[in-house]
Amino acid sequence: MAHTNKGRVSRFADFAEAYAAMTSAGEFPASFTETIAESRLSIIDDPTRDPMPDAELARGCVEDLTAQIFRLLAGTRMEAFGQPVAWGIVNSLHYVAKRIKRQEDDAAAELGEMVRVFDPSEVYQSRMEELQQRCQSLAEARAALETMCNHAANVYFVETGKPFNTIRGSRTGTGLTASQIEGFDYLKAREAEHNAKHYPARPAVLVSGGGDWEDADMIFRRMDMVRARIPHMILFTGKRFKGAEQISTCWANERGVPIVGFSLNKRGPNDFRAAYRRNKVWDSIDEIAEAMIFEQSQVQVDLARLLRARNVPLHIFRLAEQNNGTGPTDLAALRAEEQRRALA
């Protein structure tokens, strides 16, 4: 029987209560309060004294944007598209917040350069004030967009029972969701050894393969056993959005375990060696304490060979072992049985 995510709400009447209980819901008043008298987001724009959006309206708008797509498509032939459309909405907020963060970093870097080359002229002072105002304005806008994104991600989790994963980039935890770190960020921070957010000093458990795996209960039980031995673990995955890696991500999300997702670094559309190069990256990371490898392809065979040579403890899962040894669900047989019952 498939595992039921505790974050999933089963009745429409419970959704409003679930949203209100989110920690991200309480962040809107602070994030949507003006922190400076005038805002200036660009050097070509005039300063404005317009207020920030209303906090309660912003919260309601985020909930409606993310959740109403499920209401619209529920019970229709397009219901399956609800999740990807909602994911796109959350990802759009994430993308805009990251873009504002880059603009803020650029403005802060320019401000730092001006501080190092002090000039008592009036032009210099005016430019300094403009940059300071722009940095503060961008920080104010970024905080608001990040709050919207975090709340939308939590709504997505309540609706789907699955944590919101970015294709690229890292996200820190949002109360309902655990930290999700891009593999590139992890390796970069690991090399620098100074970024605590992107380099958790913990042993890692790697999960790979199993794109067609469906037995969530089996994975949840085994992951709980591993975590009992390694309580401060982090989870490594190949950032697959289905099967064993998605199930393990849901497990980590429920348990508050940080997740590091290693995307494929393809050099072209037909780069079939990308997964093998990722195996070599994993093989170079000493922090991997155990690995759970699910039957899928020669990529998993290669990964098991590399890790076994390093004496990393392996948990090998074959497709036939799931569902109490009965193997994958025969969907064709289920459909045939449903048709027979409908005709009876």
| Residue ranges covered by each domain of the chain | 12-160, 180-325
Give the side-chain half-sphere CA count within 13 A for 115.
9
Say which residues have a Cβ less than 8 Å from residue 13's Cβ, sequence separation at least 6: none
Give me the pLDDT at residue 6, please: 39
Give me the pLDDT at residue 191, please: 58
Question: The domain 180-325 is classified under which CATH number: 3.30.310, 1.20.1530, 3.40.50, 1.10.3470?
Answer: 3.40.50
Give me the pLDDT at residue 12, please: 45
Q: What tokens appear for 77 in the block? A: 């032939």
- Residue 237, number of CB atoms within 10 A of its CB: 23
Give me the pLDDT at residue 15, please: 56
Give me the pLDDT at residue 46, please: 86
Q: CA 103 to CA 92: how far, in whole Å?
A: 17
In tens, the pLDDT along 15-58 reads 556 656 655 677 889 889 998 888 988 878 888 999 999 999 99
Q: CA 182 to CA 170: how far, in whole Å?
A: 5
276 alpha-carbon distance from chain centroid: 24
Q: CA 122 to CA 191: how far, in whole Å?
A: 43
Q: CA 183 to CA 168: how far, in whole Å?
A: 9
Supply the pTM of this predicted model: 0.56
Q: CA 325 to CA 92: how far, in whole Å?
A: 42
Q: Which of 234, 216, 228, 213 is nearest to 293 (CA)?
A: 213
Quick one: 241 exposed, middle or buried, by C-beta within 10 A (0-12, 13-18, 19+)?
middle
What is the side-by-side strand order in the sheet with 288-294?
180-182, 259-261, 234-237, 204-209, 288-294, 314-317
19 alpha-carbon distance from chain centroid: 19
Give me the pLDDT at residue 188, please: 61
Give me the pLDDT at residue 325, please: 82
Residue 181 bridge partners (DSSP): 260
Backbone angles phi, psi at 188, to 5 degrees: -65, -45
Give me the pLDDT at residue 3, please: 39
Give me the pLDDT at residue 99, please: 92
Q: Which residues of the chain have pLDDT under 70?
A: 1-24, 167-201, 330-334, 344
